[in-house]
Amino acid sequence: MNAIARRFSLLLGVGMLLLLQACATVKSADARDPWEPMNRSIYQFNDAIDTVALKPAAQLYVKVLPSMVRTGVNNFLGNLADVWSIANSAMQLKGQATAETFIRINVNTFMGLGGILDVASEMGIEKRREDFGQTLGYWGVKPGPYVVLPLFGPSTLRDALAFPVDMQGSVTQSLSDEATRNGLLAVRLVDMRSGLLRTVDAIKAASLDPYSFVRDAYLQKRQNDIYDGNPPSRFDYSETPPASR
């Protein structure tokens, strides 16, 4: 196990200890978040890690690399992610989305210098993000309680169970060189965090309770994702899944 993997395991272990300690505390008033005390402890743990490691790395990334280079990196990583999106679109029987994502991958790979340029978007081919949690939701698996994962942040029980499948479905996991896989993962995390620098700071500055704001925003976004931007006006966990509509 290399140094990155050891550090990751250590941080994850600390997060799980916080999770277990919080389980004995009071219950949440929000029915969607019955594990709120535990989740808040993990949220604080993640925030501390972000403050000392991820945010400074993202700030350095933005400072050192020109905007054009960062855009190219984001496009390249997005093109890799489209491969897993097409698999999930197919599992959800979304013929048009599957075809369009297939075209996106080929256009950006062959005309966009391996995905560095997002030629497909300029041609009007929409980017569709799909993951295994959305696939489970499409086929009727309920989201379950809200949960904050150590290091990875907001989730639901369904999405947390789907997360290992998403990790294995990533194109980078098929690379034989471990250093390359870890390097791409690190770049992906820093790139994602760099895109949220202003957003996270604004949430912390404007919200009386950033934890609740993030939770509500995440749950709303996931409903929009699963229903392709058309969620039921009043959602409950017994709602008919998209596949049955």
pLDDT in tens, 200-217: 999 999 989 999 999 999
Q: How far apart are CA 140 and CA 238, in angstroms?
A: 9
**29 falls within a domain:** no
Number of domains the chain contains:
1
Q: How far apart are CA 109 and CA 103, in angstroms?
A: 10
For 23, list phi and psi in degrees, rounded to 5. Answer: -60, -25
**172 falls within a domain:** yes
Tens digit of each residue's pLDDT (9 = 90 or more) over 61-100? 999 999 999 999 999 999 999 999 999 999 999 999 999 9
**241 falls within a domain:** no
Q: What is the mean pLDDT of residues 149-164?
A: 96
Q: How far apart are CA 128 and CA 12, in angstroms?
A: 30
> What is the domain extent for residue 95?
3-22+37-227
* CB contact at 8 A, 108 and 118: yes
**31 falls within a domain:** no
Residue 26 CB contacts under 8 Å (≥ 6 apart), including other chains: 37
Residue 229's pLDDT is what?
Answer: 84
**186 falls within a domain:** yes
Q: How far apart are CA 46 and CA 74, in angstroms?
A: 23
Residue 236's pLDDT is what?
Answer: 54
**237 falls within a domain:** no
**52 falls within a domain:** yes
The overall average pLDDT reported for the chain is 88
Q: How far apart are CA 12 and CA 42, in angstroms?
A: 10
- The whole model's pTM is what? 0.83
Number of Cβ within 10 Å of residue 53's Cβ equals: 14
